[in-house]
Every structure is written in C-alpha cells, then in structure tokens.
Amino acid sequence: EDNPYEALMVNIFGTKIIADLSAKHGAEKFVMVSTDKAVNPTNIMGASKRIAEIYIQSLQTCPPQEGRSTKYVTTRFGNVLGSNGSVVPLFRKQIEAGGPITVTHKEITRYFMTIPEACNLVLEAGAMGVGADIFVFDMGQPVKIYDMAKKMVKLYGFTEDEIEIIETGLRPGEKLYEELLTSKENTLPTHHPKIMRAEVNTLTNEQICTHFDELSEIIVEADEFSLVAKMKQIVPEFVSNNSVYEKLDVKR
C-alpha cells in the first residue's frame, strides 16, 4: 500500500512485458497466477493484479502475430501454506522465539491450500485452458487465522498462557474476508471437480492499452493519488479500506 509505483511496474507492466514476449516468440500457453485479492480489491496489490488479469484476457482478442497464437490462461486462488510470506513460517518463528504470536484481527479469515495442491491445479488449469480463461480453484472452507495460531501453539506443546496471541490491528488495505468471485461474476463447471471457469467483465486490448498509456503518463508526473485514481477507474469495484486512498472513493 506504501508503494503503488512498484505494484504498477511489477504486477501490471511486468506482466504485460512477459505476456507480449510470449506472443512474439510463439509460446503455446501463458498461465498467469493471480490471487483472490483481485476480487473486489481493497488494496493496491489486489487492484494491480486485477488490471493484469484484464490485460491478459484482452490479448486473446488480438490477431495472431505472424501466424502464432498464444493461449492466455489465468488462475485465481488464495494463500498457499508454507510458501514465502505465509503465516505458518511466521507463526513457527514467533512460537520458537517464545511468543507472542501476532494476528491483525481475531475475525480475519483466509482460504488456504498446500503447495502440491496449488502446483497441480495450476498445471491442470494451464493444460485445459483454451484462451481468455480465468479459472477459480475450490479452496474449501475459509480458515480463521486466530484459530490457526491457537492450533499451532497447541501442536508445539504450549498453552495460550505460555505463548500469547495478540491483535495488532488491520494493516492498510487489508480486509477481514477474501472472496474468490465478485458479485457480478458467475462460475461454470469444468471436467475437473476442483476447477471452475469464471465469467468476468472484460475490455478489448485497445481499451486496456489506452488505460496503460495514461498510466505511463502518470508515472512521469509522480503523483501517487493520480495513479491510484486511474487504477480505480480501470477497476470500478476497487474500494480502498483502512488506507490513505479512501478519500478518492469519497470523491468518486
């Protein structure tokens, strides 16, 4: 939330560069790994990933370059247990240090899957995608982060009196519950019981490229609020939460 320029350069323009090069060099498939934070985003990260999704889908409307036709596929899922940045290694480190365990809010919930599950489903979705697909994974039931912390304390053989769990407050842009689909989206079943195809609003490549040109101009101007305002224009459902950019939603 503190670095919207980095989110824009990496998640949006970084994705664009690799996607364009895939078409140029005739890659058969391009699979983008997105996030449930892209659904009704409340932060810069989620909004930037949603814009990247829109660009990826728009490429399927472009004519093939020199007879080549790359199929663009997007996968969207939640947190991966044990991955870099996951709460599990963090909690383990905090417990081994004698505590306390820190959670941002007692009611915060997240979807989780294991690393093998995530890898297998990404590969399956990539194989079955025919272009402009957004695949949503069945993540099961969301889990309370606070309950996960309590279970880890117990598994380590401690009591909650020995390892304290404290609330630190929601971080800028953070929301209590993640979603896998927006209210305007529907899902269609696929032959895989854990993979659904999402029906989402799309833009043409010409439309999204016009937005990208305007984003590029704003980068030169170095105005963070103008940049975020433009992101909100591209993703109308982007409503900031616990963030300095909430004032843009009031104006809107």
Q: Do you know the residue count of the chain?
A: 252
Who contacts 117 (Cβ-Cβ below 8 Å, separation ≥6)? Answer: none
**Is residue 251 annotated as part of the catalytic site, yes or no?**
no
Residue pLDDT tens, the chain, 252 long: 888 999 999 999 999 999 999 988 989 999 999 998 898 899 999 999 999 999 998 988 776 555 458 899 999 888 888 787 788 889 999 999 998 999 999 999 988 888 999 999 899 988 988 887 889 888 888 889 999 999 999 999 998 889 999 999 989 888 888 876 655 567 888 888 888 888 787 888 888 989 999 998 888 887 899 999 999 999 999 999 989 999 999 876
pTM of the model: 0.87
State how far the Cα of 174 lies from the Cα of 236, in Å rounded to an integer: 18
Q: What six digits make up the tokens of 198?
A: 């999402």
Active-site option among 16, 37, 49, 71: 37
